[in-house]
Structures are given as structure tokens and as C-alpha cells.
């Protein structure tokens, strides 16, 4: 009997705001000193009152609109009660039955994955454990706005799950609502997975937490499919539980039996008013969210950008996949094209040349050094200048690669590097003819061979010319001159 996996995802993302969700403490994910961004509100002191961060609410609505969700007309916050040392109030402000966004979709690998809901809550503090067995709490993260997105169990394998998470990450970055960096914990994935007989009823689901990279999403799903299939094959029952991903053991390990919603004793947060989305006369200003204004402010999203690049620049699906893969690459490319356009008539060949250098040579340097494109020293202006010089034959492609490496290392502009290193391509006919005549004189036997019909004799002479000019001779002009002078 073979079983089919049924997978759903729960993804949390920290929102990029100046201050925390319900107080004025700073939301600074790069702060390394513990407990500096705290105040009585996020520390849960009695008698304090939360004030909602409107930017965070607008960010979630933005994500909802980008994922074709229905945006709630009214929404509210609820208390989720549980005890844990990283939760100073003894409850988390979250959203239970009236989330901001519901019923969206995201196209992934040619399939529509349905999104159940997206809601807003506050993050917890962070526990730090040392080797001596002591634990510490850092409350800088407590109260940071956190978005939670839940999908329907529409995913059937690890590839789809990873593609979904990657695409969501790209969209969050395009929308500028979250850095969504998994390594920094700004985006966290949880996987719900069960096995069923094909098209049969859903099995018992297991939740996997503590997954902090895309490869761990893939590995954890693969592990769990194997584990559950083996158990079912032996006639064992799957226990509904929460398991954690252990990166060292490359295995999921049982953490606790799954709690259900009633364990949390959700109830409406009494200190916060209901949110009114879409405008209602007389509602307090801080609770009114203008959905249409947010809709009008949505930027071009990755799929739209890909389609436009393909149409506007006659690029292939594969080429645009890389270009639109993150917003920094896309904006770098657009900046390069506008620079090229300002200097000359741009055509397909010129754009193609730019795309090739960006997707291969520049990408290689980025990958080798681990420098993100947003932080590299090569400016769009300088990159466009290099592409222009290559296009006009001012330098050979092998010199182009050297110049790009130097630009990447130093941030210098290409014309300076070319001059410093003497890399300008020699197309001056008189100068080339002089060198060719010297080479012909130095290799009489090869010349005789060439005249006797040996074609590789020409290649040898061309090689000599390249060596003598240090690779700077224009290859086409050189071949023409050689043929002319040998005839």
C-alpha cells in the first residue's frame, strides 16, 4: 500500500516596523544587547495599555491583497493564554476568529495553493541557553509584530512546500513588509503533514517546528514521509503531536502532544477596539484601515515583473526567473537597462548581453563571495558602462570578465580599470598589420603549410597574434588581416 503526503504550511514573518506591535519600544532585529528595547507595556506590567501599530496592520493587509485574499470588513485581537518564560504577560495578543485576511491563493509550480488565513500577532521573547545549563531571556523580540499565514493542506511534496515558502519570501521582500530572512529567524516555517491512501480521507497530522532554512523544510518533509509511511506499513497509529527538526541528527523528534484551541482559552482582547477596514463613519481614527489606498500602493509583484521582462525585452522564462528572483536583482537590472537606454539606442542584443553578464559572470562572483547584490560594490552605472564597452567591441569578452572581477573587488569604474591594465581591444588596422607581418616573417614553415591548404596553420598564427597583443587584438579584424596578408 502506498500513501500520499498531505502537507500544509504555517509561516510566521516578523514585520519591518520602527516600533513594536503595541508599544513604542524599538523593533530592531539587529540589536545584539539583550533587554534594551523594552518598556512596561511589552514587559507585561499591570495597568499598562496596548496601542496597535497601524503600519503593521497595513502590512498584513498588503500581503493579503498581494495573495488575492478577502480582507475582513471588521477584525479584532484576542488573547491566547499560555505560560512560558519567554511570554511576560502570560498571554499573547493574537487573532482567533476574525483574522485580517482569509481565502487567498498563491500559484506555485503551476498549481494554486489555497491560503486559509493571514493574521497578526506579537512575537515572544527569546530564550538563550548556555552550556552550564542556565537559561536567559531576551525580551527585545517580545511584542515585535508577527504575521502568521496558514495554507490549506494543498501541498503534496517537499518541492512544492519549498517553492511556496521561497515565493512567499520574495513577495514579502517585494512588498517591503519584512526582510524575511530565515537564518535570522525573521521568517519561520512550520509544516503540518499527514499520510493518506490516494484520494482517501486525511490521516492524523503531525506538526513540525524549528525549521530554519529551506533545505531543512525539504529534509524534514522527506524524513517525516518516510517515518509515517514505515509506521503505517507496520500497522501502527500516527500520534497527533508536535515534533521538532533536529538539524544535527537530520531527524524530527517528538516534543509534545498537540494542544487544541480550547487549551488556550482565547477571548477578545478587552484593551483593544475592533478594527474597521474600509472606513466607517465615527470609528476612532487609529482603528480605521484604508484598504483601497493600500491596494493602490501595491508594487509590481514577481510574476508580473517576469511577464513584463519577457515581453518588453524578449527574454526567456529562465532568464527572467533569475532576474525577478529577488527585488534587488530586479531593480539592479532595471537600473542597468535605463542607464544603457540613456546612452544609446538599446536593442535586443544589447539587453541580452547585459542579462548574460548579470546572470552568469556577476552571479558567479556573488555566489563565490556570498556578497548580496544589495551590498556589492558594482554600481548599475558602472555595470551598464562595461556592457556598453563590450557591445561596441572596445574590449574582448575575456578582458570583460577580468574587468568585472576588478569592479566587483574594488568598485572602480570600468574605463579606469581598462586604462590602468591596458586592456583596450586593438582594432587599429595599421598597428595590427605591423604585428601580423612580424609574425609571418617569424614562422615561414607555418605560412607554407597554410598556403598548402592546412587550415589550422591560420589558427596557430592567430594564437601568436593574441599572445603578442596580450589578448587585446580584435579577433574578427585580426583574422581578416591575416588572410589578406597571406594571400
Task: Write out the residues near Zn ion by the rule CB under 5 A.
Answer: 23, 25, 39, 41-42
- The residue among 44 and 475 lying less far from Zn ion, judged by its C-beta, is 44
Cα–Cα dist 291/60, whole Å: 11
- The residue among 41 and 481 lying less far from Zn ion, judged by its C-beta, is 41
- Could you tell me which of 145, 146, 197 has the C-alpha nearest to residue 1? 197
Cα–Cα dist 49/72, whole Å: 25
In the complex, least distance from residue 49 CB atom to Zn ion, rounded to whole angstroms = 12
- The residue among 18 and 114 lying less far from Zn ion, judged by its C-beta, is 18
- Return the C-alpha cell found at 66: 498581494
Q: Sign of dihedral through CA atoms 465, 466, 470, 473? A: positive
In the complex, least distance from residue 47 CB atom to Zn ion, rounded to whole angstroms = 14
Cα–Cα dist 322/332, whole Å: 12
Cα–Cα dist 54/336, whole Å: 36
- The residue among 29 and 244 lying less far from Zn ion, judged by its C-beta, is 29
In the complex, least distance from residue 42 CB atom to Zn ion, rounded to whole angstroms = 3
In the complex, least distance from residue 122 CB atom to Zn ion, rounded to whole angstroms = 10
Contact of 343 with 392, CB cutoff 8 Å:
no
- The residue among 41 and 323 lying less far from Zn ion, judged by its C-beta, is 41
In the complex, least distance from residue 142 CB atom to Zn ion, rounded to whole angstroms = 8
In the complex, least distance from residue 136 CB atom to Zn ion, rounded to whole angstroms = 19
Cα–Cα dist 12/277, whole Å: 23
Residues in the chain: 487
Per-position DSSP letters for 127-156, written without gaps between them: EEE-TTS-EEEEGGGTT-EEEEEEE-S-B-
In the complex, least distance from residue 37 CB atom to Zn ion, rounded to whole angstroms = 7
Q: In angstroms, what CA-CA distances link 176 with 148, 247, 302, 376, 419?
A: 16, 30, 13, 20, 41
In the complex, least distance from residue 92 CB atom to Zn ion, rounded to whole angstroms = 15
Contact of 193 with 7, CB cutoff 8 Å:
yes
Cα–Cα dist 410/376, whole Å: 10
In the complex, least distance from residue 54 CB atom to Zn ion, rounded to whole angstroms = 16
Cell 519570501 belongs to residue: 169
In the complex, least distance from residue 365 CB atom to Zn ion, rounded to whole angstroms = 42
- The residue among 41 and 118 lying less far from Zn ion, judged by its C-beta, is 41
Contact of 104 with 147, CB cutoff 8 Å:
no
Contact of 366 with 374, CB cutoff 8 Å:
no
Q: Sign of dihedral through CA atoms 435, 441, 443, 447? A: positive
- Return the C-alpha cell found at 466: 593574441
Contact of 76 with 268, CB cutoff 8 Å:
yes
- The residue among 41 and 175 lying less far from Zn ion, judged by its C-beta, is 41
Neighbours of 166 (CB within 10 A): 16
Cα–Cα dist 259/243, whole Å: 13
Amino acid at each position: 500500500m502506498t500513501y500520499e503526503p498531505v502537507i500544509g504550511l504555517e509561516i510566521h514573518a516578523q514585520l519591518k516596523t520602527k516600533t513594536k506591535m503595541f508599544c513604542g519600544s524599538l523593533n530592531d532585529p539587529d540589536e545584539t544587547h539583550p533587554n534594551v528595547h523594552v518598556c512596561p507595556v511589552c514587559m507585561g506590567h499591570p495597568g499598562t495599555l496596548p496601542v496597535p501599530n497601524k503600519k503593521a496592520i497595513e502590512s498584513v493587509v498588503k500581503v493579503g491583497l498581494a495573495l488575492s485574499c478577502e480582507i475582513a470588513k471588521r477584525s479584532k485581537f484576542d488573547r491566547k493564554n499560555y505560560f512560558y518564560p519567554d511570554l511576560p504577560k502570560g498571554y499573547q495578543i493574537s487573532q482567533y476568529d476574525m483574522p485580517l485576511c482569509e481565502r487567498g491563493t498563491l500559484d506555485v509550480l503551476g498549481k494554486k495553493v489555497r491560503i486559509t488565513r493571514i493574521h497578526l500577532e506579537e512575537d515572544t521573547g527569546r530564550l538563550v541557553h548556555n552550556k552550564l545549563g542556565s537559561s536567559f531571556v531576551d525580551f527585545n523580540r517580545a511584542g515585535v509584530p508577527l504575521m502568521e499565514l496558514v495554507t490549506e493542506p494543498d501541498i503534496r511534496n517537499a518541492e512544492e512546500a519549498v517553492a511556496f515558502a521561497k515565493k512567499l519570501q520574495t513577495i514579502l521582500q517585494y512588498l517591503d513588509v519584512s526582510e524575511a530572512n530565515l537564518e535570522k529567524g525573521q521568517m519561520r516555517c512550520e509544516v503540518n503533514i499527514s499520510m493518506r491512501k490516494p484520494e482517501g480521507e486525511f490521516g492524523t497530522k503531525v506538526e513540525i517546528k524549528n525549521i530554519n532554512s529551506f533545505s531543512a523544510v525539504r529534509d524534514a518533509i522527506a524524513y517525516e514521509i518516510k517515518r509515517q509511511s514505515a509506521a503505517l506499513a507496520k500497522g501502527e497509529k500516527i500520534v497527533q503531536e508536535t515534533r521538532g527538526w533536529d538539524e544535527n541528527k537530520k531527524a524530527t523528534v517528538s516534543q509534545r502532544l498537540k494542544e487544541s484551541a480550547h487549551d488556550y482559552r482565547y477571548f477578545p482582547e478587552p484593551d483593544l477596539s475592533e478594527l474597521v477596514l474600509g472606513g466607517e463613519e465615527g470609528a476612532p481614527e487609529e482603528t480605521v484601515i484604508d484598504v483601497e489606498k493600500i491596494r493602490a500602493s501595491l508594487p509590481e509583484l514577481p510574476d508580473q515583473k517576469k511577464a513584463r521582462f519577457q515581453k518588453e525585452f524578449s527574454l526567456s522564462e529562465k532568464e527572467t526567473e533569475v532576474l525577478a528572483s529577488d527585488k534587488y536583482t530586479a531593480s539592479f537590472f532595471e537600473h542597468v537597462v535605463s542607464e544603457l537606454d540613456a546612452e544609446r539606442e538599446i536593442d535586443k542584443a544589447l539587453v541580452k548581453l547585459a542579462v548574460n553578464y548579470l546572470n552568469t559572470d556577476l552571479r558567479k562572483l556573488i555566489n563565490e563571495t556570498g556578497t548580496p547584490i544589495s551590498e556589492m560594490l558594482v554600481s548599475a552605472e558602472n555595470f551598464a558602462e562595461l556592457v556598453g564597452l563590450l557591445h561596441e567591441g572596445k574590449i574582448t569578452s575575456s578582458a570583460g570578465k577580468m574587468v568585472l572581477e576588478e569592479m566587483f573587488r574594488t568598485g572602480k569604474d570600468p574605463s579606469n580599470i581598462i586604462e590602468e591594465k591596458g586592456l583596450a581591444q586593438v582594432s587599429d588596422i595599421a598597428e595590427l598589420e605591423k604585428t601580423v607581418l612580424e609574425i609571418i616573417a617569424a614562422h615561414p614553415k607555418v605560412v607554407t603549410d597554410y598556403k598548402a591548404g592546412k587550415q589550422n596553420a591560420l589558427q596557430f598564427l592567430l594564437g601568436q597574434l593574441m599572445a603578442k597583443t596580450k589578448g587585446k587584438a580584435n579577433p574578427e579584424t585580426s583574422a581578416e588581416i591575416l588572410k589578406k596578408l597571406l594571400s
